[in-house]
Structure 1
Amino acid sequence: MSSDPSSDRIERRLTTLFPSTALEDHAEALGVVERDGKFQIPAMIWAFVFGFAAGESRSLAAFRRAYNATADKTLSPGGFYQRLTPLFATYLRDLVEFALDEVAVPHTVSDEFDRFRDVIIADATVLRLHRFLREEYQGLREEQAGAKLHLLHNVTDRTIEKLSITGERPHDSTEFKTGSWLEGRLLLLDLAYFKFRRFALIDENGGYFVSRLKRNTKPEIVAELREWRGRAIPLEGEEVFDIAEDLHRKYVDVEVEVEFRRGPYAGTRSWDTKRFRVVGVRNEDADDYHFYITNLPREWLLPADIATIYRCRWAVELLFRELKTLYDLDEFNTTNPAVMKILLYAAVLTLLVSRELLELVVEHADDEAVFPPERWAATFRSHAQQILKRLSNYLDYSPPPLLDRMAADAQKIHQERPILQEQFATATQATPGVS
């Protein structure tokens, strides 16, 4: 154990998030490991988490080396790869779902958000997969395979509220479910989630939303929320996009009425109407307006504030960029669907562990210190290998001597068997349908 008391807080924080006993108990309950087996599941988890952060390449061989540098006993390539099963993918998914409830870095948004329980961004990103996986994860094109990672990103806590994986074809909004969880929360939605019925359900569940207004919609203006002096053009009875060319105001702030169909009830779907607020902020460069639809009252936020809030959606783009750029989720080369899920869940675990350590750093630093997300991500990655080594010592693991590990890693596998890497290369180059 380290003699540095402040650094010891890192190991204590991580092992409090994922205690070794809890990791072992859940693995045994799922049948991932046997209690008396030599496979050490805590070492495996931390090897994947910090291997993702530290590795220049996210190859399975690199993760095996990280495990062998952490655990008491090494695993051969065959012994390591046979652990990468659908059951182990399920185990990692369970850890992700647990961490989603535990990890948070509070007080990272402006004071103007204090009236909301959380600020949530819904979004999805496409992950390109090996073409051999197209039956399970259909891409938009027939010959492609692709998955879609759906996220609810909590801007308030700078973490992930919920995630799910589908093929590439389902619409982004299919994984967004309305309900009582929306109460007191502010949702920032892009046009992929645009639907008047969805907005009504958010409002009826006590939530709030801001979305760009779809250009092909025709909400009718029923009232202006700001009085104008002089010979102002009256807007009541007009449709929002019809007024844009005639106005030169800096802001538009009106109430509109929209018509939509309710969900099916007793075999029928009825039509309904609801009133929302639409604000327009003039874009002088394009000589046009950016229109937003919301249920936030004017007493809370003025039009300029609505536009500023909506720009917070950039946070989820940074999150996706971190996952794809730093953790190589832009493209998967494996042909094994279980391994694909293992790598995806391991990357998300790495992100969540990174956020857990960020909370510790925030607690440790001066009150006025600011930690930009991308700068923190780079810092976490640069220290990941050192943290993994410290964790190994903290957990009282005694990895085999370095020379023994190097010899085991470098030597060729049994002469009668092809090297596993050669098998993988052959599989990825094979023609579909050819055995």
Structure 2
Amino acid sequence: MSTAVTTEPPPAAPPRTRPATPAQLDWLAAELPHWRAAGLLDDQTATRILAGYHPSRRFSLASLLLVLGACFVGVGIIWLVASNLDQLPPLTRFIVVSAFWLALLAGGEALAGRREHGGPIPSPVVGAVRIMAALAFGAVVMQAAQSLQVPAYEPQLLAWWGLGALVHAYAVRAAGPLVIGLLSLASWLVWQVSWDSPDALTVLLVLFSAGGVAASVAAVHATRLGTSFRGFSGAWREIGALLSLGALFVAALPFVTADDFSWSTTVVAVLVAAGLAMVASTAFATDNARLEPALALVVAVVGVLLVLWEFGSDLGADFDTGNQVGLEGWAHAAFGVVAYVAAAGWFAVLGVLRDSRRLTFLATAALVVFTTTQAFSVFAAIIQGAWLFLLLGLVFAGTGWLADRARRQLARSLADDAQGAVR
């Protein structure tokens, strides 16, 4: 008599959970009882929903250490290249650096493939390795320049580095190389235009145009390129805000004038390209994303007006020599302060709308630096000593109070709109 052997089925693999911040989990736990009371789901479904998430911070200490380590390793590689590694011939140095870059490039994608089939808890190691690969590519560019007898202080090296990092970012859809590429291209742009242009207005026109192009690219990424590239809009938006606010900062200084400005083919080409990018993004973007390039254009126009206001006057010399500043000088300073506060406020509000704390922090930091600079370069002419610091503290406190009040009011309005849409 044979007995049937029964085998128990293998235990099912635990379902993969999604990461959520503690604040998000607290919100979800508070909302689930309301959904159960409204009859939208039962107790078992609510328990399964809550069990589908695990607590995770957006930027943990491990992530910070990994990113810092990746940056230090990448800078160390570039430093070794800059020191020429005299023990090795140029071709050997280039091969060694290129092999190291390729190993990091392949290793990052191998780790990414393992993560896709791995456990439920994501690891920031892949992002750190990709950042190291993007930085190592800069070492490859510099070593190739040394082998070709190109001076290390050429701005074009940053351009090639930035373009390579951008190709890497879009090929693997990674944010780390994108940030490296955008920072490299922005540094190249500032360096190159300052190197080639003898006048301030040309530099500002190029920087304003670049800020508008970045805002246009961000708007297209946010609405037209699908979910896979939607996360890239944040980096483009932040670099555009940095360029626009930086250019407006310089334009508002009293000693920046339009002296020695002359139209050139480069300036005209840059303005035309920026205009076409803004028009195209405004046409293709949807919802309120099309406002971003338009308001970047408004910031640029205001900055140019601030520079042209002093055309042919000696207002900047008055500030440099400490002479008494007239009514025109105070009007210019007041207009510059109001314009910069409005521009920084817009980018801070945009950070709230796009859920970007980095953009809000960038706008706030830019406002603090600008207010401090204006206080010591303009208002210090009549307000001195402790009174200047007292006034500056009151300005900071008042600006912070207004910014926080506007932020809370905006958040409340967005929440009310969302509830109204659900009803």
TM-score computed with the length of structure 1 as normaliser: 0.23
Query: Greater strand share, 1 or 2?
Result: 1
TM-score computed with the length of structure 2 as normaliser: 0.24
Query: Greater helix share, 1 or 2?
Result: 2
